[in-house]
A and B are shown apart, each in its own frame.
Chain A
Amino acid sequence: MSIERTLNLIHNEFKMLEPMSKVLDIEEYTEEDFLASIDGGSKAFKVFKRRAYEEYKTLKFPAWKRVPLNKFSLKRPIPDANFELMGPKIYKRFFEMDESEEILAHSLDFQGSDRKFTLLADSFSTDGIIVRTEKAANYAETLICKFTSESQLASNLIIVEENSKLNMVFYTPGGDFSAITSRFLLKKGAELNLLFVNLSSAQSHHFSNNYYVIGEKAKLRLYDVNLGGTVVAPYHLVKTVGQGASANVKPLFFPVGNEKIDMLYLGRIIAPESSIEIEGIGTVTDSSKAVFRGSIEINKNAKNSSGNEHSSTIILSDKAIVQAIPGLFVDENDVNASHAASIGSIENDKIYYLMTRGLSESEALKLIVAGAFEPVFQEIKEIFDDEVIGGVRNVFSERIR
């Protein structure tokens, strides 16, 4: 079975070269470590993890350049998956997985930001959640999964059944390391509103790999709120496989100091009449760095589909760096596809206008930067609770200097 890859550089009889990166030499986890991690789990759980581990062993960690991985090392003891759950009781623990769930998880296998990180979580995590809604159920309460320890390794599987509707939050309030791999299946007519909040600390490594398969007329609204760290690498691959499927992806990011973040959002449109919109908004300042890879890929026969990607970033200081890599890959001409990236400082005209209303220069700057994020914060507040996002707004606000 082949996994869902990130790049697709083949067209008819042509192929293009895929760049290969160098690898790191890091002290690895051992077979003993692995055996300890599967202890106590169900048979299906053991099958799932053993398969992941066998492949994991053959790979090495990549020597990323844009956001360098040179300070990375594996943690000992092996991190657990500790989390608090609030909301509807529609979940079970990942280690309780049954055979059908294992087959499903295997069918939703994907490359991620690097196969090694995706498998790191799958191989060594001791837990995670499996969420399954009931058909046609509409959950008023938001399901909140809050990770509670300094370091986390977790694998998750979320199944939103036909015509059911769920709001869910993955919340990482801090911590210095996490590798979390999550697979999502939205069946026909399903609706999932999903919010990731990662308030990573300045010295931290976070690898979040996520793959979403969206069925007929199903809808995904995805909000991904990130700060930055030593290496923060969120990866979200959204694939519309059913006619009329749609996804709206809205990343927000704000690294400061020396923090770095390397994000990838890929919308892969397979089915006709489906649509994916990606809109990223961020700010960088001090010596921080943001790499934003937003891609739309429209496959042959995805007629009458639309894919649009847009990122806009404000740079507040001369030592900060933004690299925007918007990609547009189109194999079907009966579509509407576009991408755009805008990067810049705040226009002096806007600051002047606010100053003529009595705001000082720094107050004007703060208002404009906060204003850039505000429309999305507002959306988040309307869908989820004010509690979580209120805290985030404050964190973002404090970062504007």
Chain B
Amino acid sequence: MRKHVNVDESKFDFKNKAGYAFKSAPGLDEKIIREISEYKSEPLWMLEKRLEALRVFRNTPEPDFGVDRSQLNINEIVPYIRPNAVKEASWDEVPDEIKDTFERLGIPEAERKALAGVGAQYDSEVVYQHIRKDLEELGVIFLDMETAVKEHPELVKKYFMKLVPANDHKYAALHGAIWSGGSFVYVPKNVKVPLPLQAYFRMNLAGMGQFEHTLIIADQGSELHFIEGCSAPRYNVHNLHAGMVEIYVMEGAKVRYSTIQNWSKNTFNLNTKRAIVEAEGTMEWVSGSLGSMKTMLYPATILKGRGARANHLAVTYAGTGQIMDTGSKVIHLAPDTSSTVDARSISVGGGWAFYRGLLYISEKARNSRSSVECSALMLDNISKSDTVPIIDVRTSQADIGHEARIGRISEDQIYYLMTRGLTEAEAKAMIVRGFMEPISKELPIEYAVELNRLINLEIESSIG
């Protein structure tokens, strides 16, 4: 069990810049980048982008906010990005608690190995072929990112890392240098994709799910629902996840991006997700963050065109040994734009849920509306919940509201449910599910079911 640490503040000398040192990663050099690019048979322009990103990475200091990252050593991951290196872990290395969860969630044998980064391929090919034909008829392009680079260079060049360029922040630069895998989706004008597309199918290389790049372009009037991730715990061979998602929502288009992530509890999850929305377009982020040891994740929506809309729904779970530094960023740059944020967090077993948000209403965003609500549920007395939003308004014609509430489950509620026959754990779990319901009901049903089951497991283990 975790021991209680008596903290002497002088140990954390914040004034000493060396405390969050510049991660230079000497093992990460041009040679490796060239190897990666060659292995993937990439066109020259992509290699050049990678090298440029590497240069930016070296010249950018660490971000000076957020979770403490001194335990993260980028050099350790270098062996795993080198092509032909042994990437696979052995099944024996996978922690028992992960194997246990697979068992309890009833995950099929074949999937388990893929999820645990063991074994090269999860054979989803057969299922996928069928779907692919339907999509082709609609004109939808849905490929893995690497193939897209080769088959649709004009599209990729136009949009790839333009929304989040390498100089955005240090981990964006890192991503730009070593990205691998991910999905590319292009939906033509006015096409409404009838079924949700899932990134899950595209996981081909073991252990490489950590640097995937997803690029989605929804052309005018189109509609798409994209699902990423999975609720089963993912065991990583190394401990950094620095993926990126870029979404372009053209005029009148609508995109919903649902994620549920449950990275194993040794991971640093430093993901960047950003969408830009043209006139009358709508972007919806639905996120469930359960896993990883330390997460910094702030899905961002830029409302660029008149009447654009953003809707952020997020539920975050911070359990034992976890800091979840999550939030949302919404930037209103045009008139008549509107946004809503509903962010819920649960902290238990000593976990720390930290909501960090930015709502920016520019001078041009006349007649904009935004409403942000954060609610936090603390299940016990050893956990922490913080909320620090920044609301920056620069126009006189706007209607902006932000609210946050932090509290706990009332004893009265637990008692009432117990008089109806539920155990204490069942009562708490039911209340927590109810708290998350507005978000979980927006997730695809299998995810919501998994999410609920996972919460039950977590609560039982935290009470027991």
Complex A–B touching at CB under 8 A:
yes
Chain A residues with CB under 8 Å of chain B are 2, 10-20, 300, 313, 315-345, 347
A323-B392, A337-B406 known; A342+B386 contact, CB < 8 A: no
Q: B393 contacts A326, CB within 8 Å?
A: no
Residues on A with beta carbons closer than 8 Å to the beta carbon of B14: 17-18, 20
Q: A333 contacts B408, CB within 8 Å?
A: yes
Residues on B with beta carbons closer than 8 Å to the beta carbon of A320: 394, 396
Other-chain residue from A333, A340, A347 in contact with B402 (beta carbon distance below 8 A): A340
B4 located at the interface, meaning its Cβ lies under 8 Å from any Cβ of chain A in the complex: yes
Could you write out 19 A-B pairs with CB less than 8 Å apart?
A11-B323, A14-B323, A16-B67, A19-B64, A315-B398, A316-B396, A317-B396, A322-B391, A326-B387, A326-B404, A329-B386, A333-B383, A334-B381, A335-B407, A340-B401, A340-B403, A340-B404, A344-B393, A347-B399
Docked pose: A353 CA to B282 CA in angstroms: 34
Residues on B with beta carbons closer than 8 Å to the beta carbon of A337: 405-407
Other-chain residue from A12, A317, A326, A330 in contact with B406 (beta carbon distance below 8 A): A330
Docked pose: A345 CA to B365 CA in angstroms: 13
Chain B nearest Cβ from A312, distance in angstroms: 9
A10-B7, A338-B404, A343-B400 known; A321+B392 contact, CB < 8 A: yes
Chain A nearest Cβ from B218, distance in angstroms: 31
Q: A16 contacts B393, CB within 8 Å?
A: no
For the complex of A and B, the 3 pairs showing the least CB-CB separation, nearest first, are A333-B378, A333-B408, A324-B391
Chain A nearest Cβ from B435, distance in angstroms: 14
Residues on B with beta carbons closer than 8 Å to the beta carbon of A333: 378-381, 383, 407-408
- A328, closest chain B residue (CB): B387
B317 located at the interface, meaning its Cβ lies under 8 Å from any Cβ of chain A in the complex: no
Residues on A with beta carbons closer than 8 Å to the beta carbon of B5: 12-13
Chain A nearest Cβ from B231, distance in angstroms: 25
Residues on B with beta carbons closer than 8 Å to the beta carbon of A14: 67-68, 323, 352
Residues on B with beta carbons closer than 8 Å to the beta carbon of A16: 65-68, 323, 325, 354
Chain B nearest Cβ from A348, distance in angstroms: 10
Chain A nearest Cβ from B378, distance in angstroms: 4
Q: B403 contacts A338, CB within 8 Å?
A: yes
Residues 200-223 of B at the A interface (beta carbon under 8 Å): none
B2 located at the interface, meaning its Cβ lies under 8 Å from any Cβ of chain A in the complex: yes
Residues on B with beta carbons closer than 8 Å to the beta carbon of A327: 386-388
B363 located at the interface, meaning its Cβ lies under 8 Å from any Cβ of chain A in the complex: yes
- A298, closest chain B residue (CB): B406
Interface centre among A2, A320, A345 (most CB of B within 10 A): A345
Residues on B with beta carbons closer than 8 Å to the beta carbon of A19: 64-65
A12-B4, A14-B323, A332-B381 known; A323+B376 contact, CB < 8 A: no
Chain B nearest Cβ from A300, distance in angstroms: 7
Produce 1/0 per residue, B249-277, CB < 8 A to A.
Answer: 00000000000000000000000000000
Residues on B with beta carbons closer than 8 Å to the beta carbon of A319: 363, 394
16 additional contacts, CB 8 Å, given A330-B384, A343-B391? A10-B12, A11-B352, A12-B7, A16-B67, A17-B14, A17-B63, A19-B64, A322-B391, A323-B391, A326-B389, A333-B407, A334-B381, A340-B402, A342-B401, A343-B393, A345-B396
Interface centre among A2, A319, A326 (most CB of B within 10 A): A326
Other-chain residue from B17, B350, B378, B388 in contact with A20 (beta carbon distance below 8 A): B17
- B12, closest chain A residue (CB): A15
Chain B nearest Cβ from A310, distance in angstroms: 9
B109 located at the interface, meaning its Cβ lies under 8 Å from any Cβ of chain A in the complex: no
Docked pose: A317 CA to B381 CA in angstroms: 45
Residues on A with beta carbons closer than 8 Å to the beta carbon of B17: 20
A333-B407, A334-B408 known; A341+B363 contact, CB < 8 A: no
Chain B residues with CB under 8 Å of chain A are 2, 4-5, 7, 9, 12, 14-15, 17, 20, 63-68, 323, 325, 350, 352, 354, 363, 366, 376, 378-408
Residues on A with beta carbons closer than 8 Å to the beta carbon of B382: 12
- A303, closest chain B residue (CB): B381
- B322, closest chain A residue (CB): A14
Residues on B with beta carbons closer than 8 Å to the beta carbon of A326: 387-389, 391, 402, 404
Residues on B with beta carbons closer than 8 Å to the beta carbon of A10: 7, 9, 12
Docked pose: A77 CA to B396 CA in angstroms: 42
Residues on A with beta carbons closer than 8 Å to the beta carbon of B4: 12
Other-chain residue from A15, A325, A335, A341 in contact with B401 (beta carbon distance below 8 A): A341
Q: A15 contacts B404, CB within 8 Å?
A: no
Docked pose: A328 CA to B391 CA in angstroms: 14
Q: B376 contacts A330, CB within 8 Å?
A: yes
Residues on B with beta carbons closer than 8 Å to the beta carbon of A323: 390-393
Residues on B with beta carbons closer than 8 Å to the beta carbon of A332: 381
Docked pose: A226 CA to B118 CA in angstroms: 63
Chain B nearest Cβ from A23, distance in angstroms: 12
Other-chain residue from B381, B401, B406 in contact with A300 (beta carbon distance below 8 A): B381
A19-B64, A20-B15 known; A324+B396 contact, CB < 8 A: no
Chain A nearest Cβ from B103, distance in angstroms: 30
Q: B401 contacts A345, CB within 8 Å?
A: no
A16-B66, A19-B65, A320-B396 known; A328+B404 contact, CB < 8 A: yes
Residues on A with beta carbons closer than 8 Å to the beta carbon of B398: 315, 343-345
Residues on A with beta carbons closer than 8 Å to the beta carbon of B389: 325-326, 341
Q: B385 contacts A330, CB within 8 Å?
A: yes
Chain B nearest Cβ from A325, distance in angstroms: 5
Chain A nearest Cβ from B13, distance in angstroms: 11
Docked pose: A209 CA to B192 CA in angstroms: 58
Q: A344 contacts B399, CB within 8 Å?
A: yes
- A317, closest chain B residue (CB): B396
Residues on A with beta carbons closer than 8 Å to the beta carbon of B67: 14, 16-17
Q: B406 contacts A341, CB within 8 Å?
A: no
Q: A13 contacts B376, CB within 8 Å?
A: no
- B17, closest chain A residue (CB): A20
Docked pose: A327 CA to B356 CA in angstroms: 10
Residues on A with beta carbons closer than 8 Å to the beta carbon of B404: 326, 328, 338-340
Q: A325 contacts B64, CB within 8 Å?
A: no
Chain A nearest Cβ from B356, distance in angstroms: 10
Residues on B with beta carbons closer than 8 Å to the beta carbon of A321: 392-394
Chain A nearest Cβ from B344, distance in angstroms: 14
Docked pose: A20 CA to B14 CA in angstroms: 8
Chain B nearest Cβ from A375, distance in angstroms: 20
A15-B12, A17-B68, A20-B15 known; A325+B390 contact, CB < 8 A: yes
- A338, closest chain B residue (CB): B405
Chain B nearest Cβ from A7, distance in angstroms: 9
Residues on B with beta carbons closer than 8 Å to the beta carbon of A317: 396
Residues on A with beta carbons closer than 8 Å to the beta carbon of B394: 318-322
Docked pose: A341 CA to B17 CA in angstroms: 34
Q: B387 contacts A339, CB within 8 Å?
A: yes
Docked pose: A13 CA to B388 CA in angstroms: 21
- A334, closest chain B residue (CB): B408
Q: A315 contacts B393, CB within 8 Å?
A: yes
Docked pose: A342 CA to B65 CA in angstroms: 26
Q: B9 contacts A2, CB within 8 Å?
A: yes
Residues on B with beta carbons closer than 8 Å to the beta carbon of A335: 406-407
